Chains A and B, each alone.
Chain A
Amino acid sequence: MEVLKTIRPELLTLSQEQLNCLLPYFTVFGGTCLSIVLSVWGGLKPKWPVFLVTSLTCIIAMFLGSSSGDGTSHTLFNGMMVADAYSQFFNVIFLGAALFTIFSSFRYLDDEKLQHPEYYVLVMFAALGMMLMASALDLIVIFIALELMSLSVYILVGFRRNDRKSNEAAMKYFILGSAASAVLLYGSALIYGATGSTEIRSVLKFLQEHPQSLNPIFGLGFALVLFGFLFKVASVPFHMWMPDVYEGAPVPVTGFMTTGLKAAAFATFVRILATMGYGNGISAAIQNHLHDVLWVSCALTMLLGNFIALTQVNLKRMLAYSSIAHTGYLLLGILSGTRSELGFAPGVMYILVYAAMNLGAFVILTLLAAEGDSKLNLHDLSGVARRHPWLAFAMSVFLLSMAGIPPTAGFAAKYLVFYSAIQANEIPLAVIGVLSSAVSVYYYLRVLVYMYMKDPVGSPPVLRISLWSGLAVAAMILITIQVGVLPERMIDLAKRAVLSL
């Protein structure tokens, strides 16, 4: 109730700077609405207009988002949202993920006879939800943004509506996702009950002013929020939904989920932890509990993800489990963020790098997928390198990057994460991490074995590589190698983003 009293009229109007900060959000929203109109415009074939409008929207919003900020953070809507370097950094990731998902879906949707304009609109709405998530400072806004994103993605997962697997995945994801959202919301309610506010900064302030009010209700609320997020990022033991959903969803959607969705969940997670004072704000008891929970989850996630991925023969499933493993490395970055000098920067940089290389890999999977997302087993890749040397090369770069082999971005990012873990004195966890990533080398290399060292079975189908997918792959390769060879700029960006928290 305190919040309501503090509302002043001048806070309800937007100043010029605030408007500037909000421009990327408005652009995405406007572009998406325009695409909706275009998709039902009578007598117009919506395929090209919608594709162009959504792509252009992403590019313009990315440009606005990366150029508008002056480095200072602007609080918006009476402290419900904030536009800072951190949200800018993530907005670029989300919009990039959306843009390249759209690029890689264009031909795919034609091939699968799914070319409906809703697809692009949903991708854009999901991206908008992600952008709001990364900049929200209020648990309720976070929830709304999360739902905006999740609802769009539920539909996208089930987009191949005549396919049973896709339907099953959508249903599974919907039910489990809703449960997780409910948990998150319940947690927010309990936090509100304990502290009288849903705004993260006020919660922290309240806790600092009334340390005696740290009661079990708050603890329970915080735990529920934590579990909600661990579910969204699919860390063990909340990972069960993920492989099935990733396998059932259309390939480009899976790519979008592993990059955008995961990045959004992590971005919000880190913001909540950092703003709630993980590291310096709240009492040591909570600190230690939090640390222990994350420690166990992190270790299990790295081990389980990598070991189960070993046994997968379907590439989509393999990358799903590898995605779980990468969640583990990300958690490691967050866990050690409080006690290392680099702070959360390694984790944040890892999110970006993971998004780039994983998106690249999924664009290539999209190209490889035959009708109905079949032919994505390891042996279907036999001899791909003979027919498509560049495609195989690109795939190898992405996989080697995920395995953390220099000079790729994956190595630079992993280096930073493990480095900050050593600084934070998490040596056992770092050792578990590197050893499990040695395990991961096996399954990544196995793909290379099939592509380069096995003879093709029969005559491999000639893939038609569309210009748009080619562009997406080239961009991701560029990022993967550029960040790998000269990571300094990216480290700087990540540092600046984290400093603004």
Chain B
Amino acid sequence: MSGFNSSLLTILVFLPAAWALAGLLIPVKMGGSAPLKYWALAGSLVTFFLSIFLYVQFSPHGEEFQWLETASWIPSLGISYSVGIDGISLWLVMLTTFLMPIAILGSFKAVDHREKEYYFLLLALETGMLGAFVSLDLFLFYVFWEVMLIPMYFLVGIWGGKERIYAAMKFFLYTMVGSLLMLVAIFYLAYQHKVQLGSYSTLILDLYKLHIPGAGYFGAQSLLFLAFSLAFAIKVPLFPLHTWLPDAHVQAPTAGSVILAAVLLKMGGYGFLRIAFPLFPQAVSLYQVPFMTLGAIAIIYGALVATVQPDIKKLVAYSSVSHMGYVILGLFSLNQIGVTGSIYQMLNHGISTGALFLLVGMIYERRHTREISAFGGITRVMPLFAVAFMIVTLSSVALPGTNGFVGEFLILLGSWNTNRILASVAALGVVLGAVYMLWMFQRVMFGPITHEENKKLHDLSLREVLVLAPLVIAIFVMGIFPNLFFEKMDPSVQRFLNRSSAGITSQPNSASQTSYAQGNNHGSS
């Protein structure tokens, strides 16, 4: 059992891919695609149960990284296979494994051709995502980061909507440009490690020890920070690099949108947390205000654009831009409250936006349109759907008692301590969020039924209830018992802040930063 436990992360990461490979052997002709679907579902459920082990056994006050495994991989370049989780990646791993079965169950009906490849790619994607969240070696991280792209590219490109090829290509190229510059930065860091400490290493923990030269807006440290930030900001996506997102989201099949919104976007935020901030503290303090400004712009811009969308899915896509703006705002506020809120908001966004995409997908399967104007009065014919939609909508507009409230409140509080103007602007976004979500909800669900087709819509099936129920439960659990989450997160957040504000304290001559440093002293939530 100890052997199992010590390599639990490796098993967790590679199980979905191995499961997917085994699934290729299932003959499709025999008994249709049903065995295939249940096989994939079973694989994702087993992965989820394995990750529950992690949650139960993770001790927040233990070592920084638990289930740490390190093995030499390419010794001549100091590259190793190193995985481990802390209180931050634990939650993102849980989010991934939690959403995967839901995404798979949610596509049972929606995907009706080339199912074998579809479920194969979904499970392969899970391996890529989990790998990126647990890797503690920059090279390994980069490998998983790129490997993730390929399944997503095919998911959008094969099973997507009308403009799927354009969207898939755009998604791939955007991410690729960002990540290639990140690759150059990784080379530079590995070489710096050799220069400063005498040996090659790409282990993230080793790289934390480096003193990267070059203060100033275009010093070496800042350039490296920008190279990483570009990759992560494209993934988040941060305004003005968000334009791939509406295309990819709208064109992707439902499960693709769910995974894209819920997990892939988190990869950007996680990259900032794990790599960009702790490695380049001085650059972070320099670029704090510009990035917070972009975050605030994203919040307002995303909300405004979402308001005028005629297509529900596009509306949800732009709401993602707005919600992820909060994440950036919270991260760059660099205090315990803001960062905790940010991580929480990442989880929230995964749950709520994932649920929204599923709901949109369900109604699309019935009506084959997503135009808001094609609906109206749906509440009368689909009461169960209406309840679920209502709860998720309220979570998205951050009603107290739901998960969204906790995250946004903490972020606004945290950023208030750092920059009051931007926090006030962001607070405006909360109002706008209520406007676009509730207005959409009203037009789709209430009023008289204006379209004949809508009268015959049938309510949620048992399968669809099973898809939505865990998400609705998660919304309430996260909204009412946030401490369940914070207690595992706090020590890691504290460590993160110690590293990320190291630059501020070691730079006594820049007086403007002292106020931010004080922000860190505020107690934990």
- Using a Cβ cutoff of 8 Å, how many contacts connect chains A and B? 85
Judge whether B169 is part of the interface by a CB distance below 8 angstroms. yes
User: Per-residue 0/1 for B54-76: is the Cβ within 8 Å of any A Cβ (1 yes, 0 no)?
Assistant: 00000000000000000001111
Most buried by A among B149, B164, B180: B180
> In the complex, which of the residues A406, A442, A491 has the most CB atoms of chain B within 10 Å of its own CB atom?
A406
Q: At the interface, yes or no: B187 with Cβ under 8 Å from chain A?
A: yes
Q: How far is the CA of A492 from the CA of B76 in the complex (A)?
A: 8
Q: How long is the Cα–Cα vector from A406 to B183 in the complex, in angstroms?
A: 12
Judge if B173 is at the interface, Cβ distance under 8 Å.
yes
Q: Which of the 9-residue segments A112-120, A209-217, A263-271, A433-441 touches chain B?
A: A433-441
- A405: chain B residues at CB < 8 Å are 146-147, 149-150
A304 to B: closest C-beta gap in Å: 19
B177 within 8 Å of A by Cβ?
yes
Whether A453 lies near B164 (C-beta < 8 A) is yes
Q: Are B184 and A445 in contact, CB atoms less than 8 angstroms apart?
A: no
A448 to B169 Cα, complex, angstroms: 10
Query: Total interface residues on B, using CB and 8 Å?
Result: 32
B158 in contact (CB, < 8 A): yes
Query: Closest residue of chain A to B195, judged by CB?
Result: A423
* Contact residues in A for B190 (Cβ distance below 8 Å): 419
Contact between chains at A488 and B184 (CB < 8 Å): no
Contacts of A434 in B (CB 8 A): 180-181, 183-184
- Say whether A438 contacts B158, CB under 8 Å: no
Contacts of A486 in B (CB 8 A): 73
A430 interface residue per 8 A CB criterion? yes
Q: Decide yes or no: A400 and B150 within 8 Å by CB, A449-B169, A488-B74 being known contacts.
A: yes
Chain A residues near B176: list those with CB within 8 A: 438, 441
Contact flag A442-B187 (CB < 8 Å), given A435-B180, A449-B157, A488-B75: no
B77 on the A face (CB < 8 A)? yes
What residues of B have a CB within 8 angstroms of the CB of A495 in the complex? 76
Q: Is A69 interfacial (CB 8 A cutoff)? A: no
A431 & B181 in contact (Cβ 8 Å cutoff)? yes
- In the complex, chain A residues 170-202 whose Cβ is within 8 Å of any chain B Cβ: none
Q: Is the interface of A mostly helix, strand, loop or mixed?
A: helix
B-side contacts of A415, CB under 8 Å:
139, 183, 187
Minimum CB–CB distance from A345 to chain B (whole Å) comes to 9
Residue B154, interface by CB 8 Å: yes
B153 on interface, CB distance cutoff 8 Å: yes
A492 to B143, CA, bound (A): 21
0/1 interface trace, chain A 418-459, chain B, CB 8 Å (1 if under): 110111000100110011011001100110110011100000
A431 CA / B153 CA spacing, docked (Å): 25
Q: Does A219 contact B (CB under 8 A)?
A: no
Give min CB distance, B29 to chain A, whole Å: 15
Q: At the interface, yes or no: B218 with Cβ under 8 Å from chain A? A: no
Question: In the assembled complex, which residues on chain A have CB atoms less than 8 Å from the CB atom of B142?
Answer: 406
B147 x A487 contact (CB < 8 A):
no
Chain B residues whose CB sits within 8 angstroms of the CB of A411 once the complex forms:
143, 146
**Contact status B184-A431, CB under 8 Å:** yes
A491 to B164, CA, bound (A): 40
Contact indicator B146/A406 (Cβ below 8 Å): yes
Contact digits for B156-193, partner A, Cβ 8 Å, 1 yes 0 no: 01100000110011001100110011011001101100
User: Could you say which of B150, B154, B169 contacts A442, with CB atoms under 8 Å apart?
Assistant: B169
The answer to whether A49 has its CB under 8 Å from any CB of chain B is no
CB contact under 8 A between A491 and B184, given known A419-B190, A452-B154: no
Set of chain A residues within 8 Å of B172, measured between Cβ atoms: 441, 445
In the complex, the answer to whether A435 meets B177 with C-beta atoms within 8 Å is yes
Once A434-B181, A449-B157, A452-B154 are accepted as A-B contacts, the answer to whether A418 and B187 lie under 8 Å apart by CB is yes
Across the two chains, which residue of chain A brings its CB closest to B143?
A406
Cα-based distance from A49 to B35 in the complex (angstroms)? 50
Contacting residues, chain B, for A442 (C-beta < 8 A): 169, 173
Chain B residue contacts of A418, Cβ below 8 A: 183-184, 187
Residues of A within 8 A of B158 (CB): 452-453
Cα A341 to Cα B180 with chains together (Å) = 23
Size of chain A's interface in residues, with CB distance under 8 A? 35
Contact of B157 among A421, A423, A453 (CB under 8 A): A453
Bound-state CA distance A445–B157 (Å) is 11
Which A391-411 residues have a C-beta within 8 angstroms of B? Answer: 400, 405-407, 411
How close is B120's CB to chain A, nearest CB, in angstroms?
11
Expressed in whole angstroms, the Cα–Cα distance for A437 and B173 within the complex equals: 11
B-chain residues with CB within 8 Å of residue A406 when the two chains form the complex: 142-143, 146-147
Q: Knowing A406-B142, A422-B187, A434-B184 are in contact, say whether A491-B74 is a contact too (CB < 8 A).
A: yes
Q: What B residues does A407 contact at CB under 8 A?
A: 143, 147
Q: Which of B74, B143, B188 contacts A422 (CB 8 A)?
A: B188
Verify A488–B76 contact, CB threshold 8 A: yes
Contact A422–B164 (Cβ < 8 Å): no
CB proximity of A86 to chain B, nearest CB, Å: 18
CB of A12 to closest CB in B, whole Å: 42
Pick from B73, B154, B173: contact of A438, CB under 8 Å: B173
Contacts of B177 in A (CB 8 A): 435, 438
A492 to B181, CA, bound (A): 27
CA distance A495 to B75 in the complex (A): 13
CB of B398, distance to nearest CB on chain A (Å)? 38
Measured CA separation A427–B142 after assembly (Å): 20
Q: Which residue of A lies closest to B160 (CB)?
A: A453
User: Which residue from B154, B168, B180, B191 sits with its C-beta under 8 Å from A423?
Assistant: B191
For A437, what are the chain B residues with a Cβ–Cβ distance below 8 Å?
Answer: 180
> What residues of chain A lie closer than 8 Å to B168, measured between beta carbons?
449, 453
A446: chain B residues at CB < 8 Å are 169
Closest to A450 in B: B165
- C-alpha spacing A423/B187, complex, angstroms: 8
A445 x B169 contact (CB < 8 A): yes
User: How many angstroms between the C-alpha atoms of A437 and B181 in the bound complex?
Assistant: 11
The answer for the CA separation of A441 and B168 in the assembled complex, in Å, is: 13
Nearest opposing residue in chain B for A491, CB measure: B76
The B69-89 residues at the A interface (CB cut-off 8 A) are 73-77
Contacts of A487 in B (CB 8 A): 74
> Are the CB atoms of A422 and B191 closer together than 8 Å?
yes
Q: Which residues, 118 to 145 on B, are CB-close (under 8 Å) to A?
A: 139, 142-143
List the A side residues contacting B187 at CB < 8 Å.
415, 418-419, 421-423, 430
How many angstroms from the CA of A421 to the CA of B75 in the assembled complex?
19
B160 to chain A, nearest CB (A): 9
CB-defined interface of A104-116 with B at 8 Å, one 1/0 digit per residue?
0000000000000
Q: A396's closest neighbor in chain B, by CB? A: B150
Q: Which residue of B lies closest to A386 (CB)?
A: B114
**Distance in Å: Cβ of B42 to nearest Cβ of chain A:** 24
Q: What's the Cα separation between A449 and B169 when bound, in Å? A: 9
Separation of A445 and B181 alpha carbons in the complex (Å): 20
Contacting residues, chain B, for A454 (C-beta < 8 A):
165
* A492 CA to B74 CA, complexed, in Å: 10
Are B157 and A452 in contact, CB atoms less than 8 angstroms apart?
yes
> In the complex, what's the smallest C-beta–C-beta distance from B185 to chain A, in angstroms?
9
Q: Which residues of A have CB within 8 Å of B139?
A: 415
Contact A419 B77 (CB under 8 A): yes
- Residues of B within 8 Å of A427, CB to CB, are 184, 188
A242: min CB distance to chain B, Å: 26
In the complex, what's the smallest C-beta–C-beta distance from A453 to chain B, in angstroms? 5
From residue A390, how far is it (CB to closest CB) to chain B in Å?
Answer: 11
Question: 20 extra interchain contacts, Cβ-Cβ under 8 A, other than A422-B187, A488-B75?
Answer: A405-B147, A405-B150, A416-B77, A418-B187, A423-B191, A434-B180, A434-B181, A435-B177, A435-B181, A438-B177, A438-B180, A441-B172, A442-B169, A442-B173, A448-B153, A449-B168, A452-B157, A453-B164, A491-B74, A491-B76
A-B pairs with lowest CB-CB distance, top 4: A434-B180, A422-B187, A406-B143, A453-B157
Could you jot down 9 A-B contacts, CB within 8 Å?
A415-B139, A431-B184, A434-B183, A438-B177, A441-B172, A452-B157, A453-B168, A488-B73, A492-B76
